[in-house]
Chain A
C-alpha cells in the first residue's frame, strides 16, 4: 500500500487536488437517507422503557439483549465504518467481562468503575492485537481474528485460579448503582442500568462516527489509497477505531458480568463472534441502530425457537441469513427504507 502511494500522489496530483477541492469525495455519500438522525436514540430509550412495562417477567432475557446490542454496536464500528471483516470481536467482549469480573470478585464493587475497567481492558487488548494483525486482509485477517479469540479463551480456560476455568467465574456482587439502586432479584435495576448504558453508548458512538476521525475511517473503508494520498495513514485509523470498538465491546462484556453475576468461557468463543456478525448483518451494517434491531430480532427469535429444539433454530437462522445476503444485502433496516421509498414514490404519483 505504501509503495503505491507516491506514484498515485505524483501522477494524479492535479486530478486529486481538483476532486478534493470541488466535490469532497468522502463527504458526498455520507448524507444518505440511511442516517436516521437524532430520532433513533429517544426511540431506543422509549422502546426499552415500554419493554420494561410490557414484559416484567422476562427482564433477565431483555437485559442480556441490551448488553448484546452494545456488543454488536462495537462490531458495527469496526465493520460498518471501517470495513474490517472480523470473526474475533468476542476476544474484546470476553476480556472485558473477565477483567471486570475478576476485579469485582477481588477488589472493586462499584458498577460504574467495573464498566470502566472492562472498557479499558477491551480497548487495550484491541489496541495490542489490532496493531499486530490489521495489516492483513481477507481470509488471513479472518483467521488472525479467530486465532486471537481462541487464545483469549484458552488463557481464560487455563487460568483456573482467577477465572474459574470451564466452571465459569461466579460471585460477582456489585454495590448498588450510585449507592442508591440495589441490584434486585427480579432484575429491574439490572435492566434499567443496561438500558441507560446502551443509550449513552449510542450517543457516544453517534458522536464518534460523525467526528472527523469517524469520517476518516469511512474514507479508509471506501478508498484506502486515496486516504494515504491525502496524507493519512489508513492503518493508524483502522487500529484506532479497532481500539475504540474494543472499549465498547469491553464495556458490553463488563455490563454482562455486572448484570448477570457470572462470566463463562463462551463469552470469548468463536461462535459468539460469529453470532455478533450475524446479528449485525441482519439489522444492517454501518448505521448503529441496525445493531440494536438485529440483536433484538436475533435473540428474541432465538429465545422462542431454541426453547423447542436448537436445530430448528439453526435451520431458521441459516435460511434467514442466506435470504438476507441474497435478497436484502443492507439488512432489515434497508428493507424498511426500501419499503418507505416505495410508498413515498407511490404517494408522489397519486
Chain B
C-alpha cells in the first residue's frame, strides 16, 4: 500500500514534468510539422538559466523561474527566424532531424563551455521542502507543487486553444495552413508565437523537473527520446493526448523502477512498438491543436 502510494505520487509528478515539456513539442509538431530534436536542449537551457539565476545571482525561486522562461524564449526566437523557418513542412523530415541534432550538439557544447560538465542544482525555497499531509498520508511539497503546475498548464493550454482568438487561429492553421493564410491569418506571426509558447513550456518543464531529470550537459540528448515517445503516442498536436500519454508513461516507468527494476526499459519500448503498430498516428489522435 505504501509502495503503491509512492508510485502514484512519484509517477504522477514525473508524468506532469514529461507533459509540460512534451506538450510544447507536440504543439510545434502539430502546427509547423517540425520534428524538433532540439526541444530537450531548450528545456535544458531553461534549467541552466534558472540554476545560474538562483545560485550565482541569488534570485528567489519564483523570480528565477520567470527569468529562465523569459530568457529561453528570447534566446530561441531568433533561431525560429534563422533556422526553423527554412525547414517547416511535411516533406523534409530528414533535414529537420539533422538540423535539430546539429543545433542540439551546439547547445550541449555551449552549455558545457559556459557552465562546466558538473551536475547543476536549482535550490528549492523552504516553502517547497517539507511535506503536505493529505488525509493520513503525507507527500513531499515539491511533488505536490509539480503536480499542481502540471494541472495549471493543462487547463491554461486548454483555455488558450479552445477559448481565445489565438486558439481559433492556431487550430485553423493546423487544419489547413494554406486556407488559413488565404483567410487573412498571419501564419508567420502565428508560427513565431507558437514556437515561443513551445520553448517557454520546455523551459518551464526544465526548471520544475530539475529534481527528477538532473541538469547536466547531456540532458538534451538523454531525455529527448522520452519526450518524442510522449508526442508519438499522444498524437502530434493533441493536448489531452500528450497529458494522458505522459501520465501513463510516467506511472509505468516509475512502477517499473519500484517493482521490476531490471526490465523497465524493455517493457516501455515493447509497449511503444505495440501502441504505434496499432495506432500509427498516436493513441489519442485529436484534432485540437
Contacts and interface: CB of A to CB of B under 8 A. Distances in A.
Interface of A: 79, 85, 87, 132-133, 135-140, 142-144, 146-148, 150-151, 154-155, 158, 270-271, 274, 277-278, 281, 285, 311-312, 314-315, 317-322, 324-326, 329
B217 interface: yes
Contacts of B107: 318
Interface stretch (B123-131, B155-163, B224-232): B224-232
20 contacts: A79-B94, A87-B97, A140-B232, A140-B280, A140-B281, A147-B269, A158-B262, A271-B221, A278-B98, A311-B108, A314-B105, A314-B109, A315-B109, A315-B113, A318-B104, A319-B102, A324-B98, A325-B99, A325-B102, A326-B86
B119 interface: no
Contacts of B113: 311, 315
Contacts of B272: 143-144, 147
A142 B228 CA distance: 9
Contacts of B97: 85, 87, 142, 277
Contacts of B35: 138-139, 142
Contacts of A136: 276, 280
Nearest to A79: B94
Contacts of B190: none
Interface residues of B, number: 45
Interface of B: 29, 35, 83, 86-87, 90, 93-95, 97-99, 101-110, 112-113, 217, 221, 225, 228-229, 231-232, 236, 262-263, 265-266, 269-270, 272-273, 276-277, 280-282
B273 A322 contact: no
Contacts, number: 128
Q: Which 5 interchain pairs have the tightest Cβ spacing?
A: A318-B105, A321-B102, A315-B109, A318-B106, A322-B102
Contact of A281 (B98, B105, B112): B98
Interface majority SS on B: helix, strand, loop or mixed? Answer: helix
A274 B101 contact: yes
Contacts of B229: 143, 147
A315 B105 contact: yes
Contacts of B277: 132-133, 144
A70 B276 CA distance: 30
Given A140-B280, A151-B273, 10 more contacts: A87-B97, A132-B273, A147-B229, A151-B270, A270-B225, A277-B101, A317-B102, A318-B102, A321-B101, A322-B106
A303 to B, nearest CB: 17
Given A143-B228, A320-B102, A311 B269 contact: no
B217 A311 contact: yes
Contacts of B221: 271
Contacts of B266: 151, 154-155, 158
A4 to B, nearest CB: 16
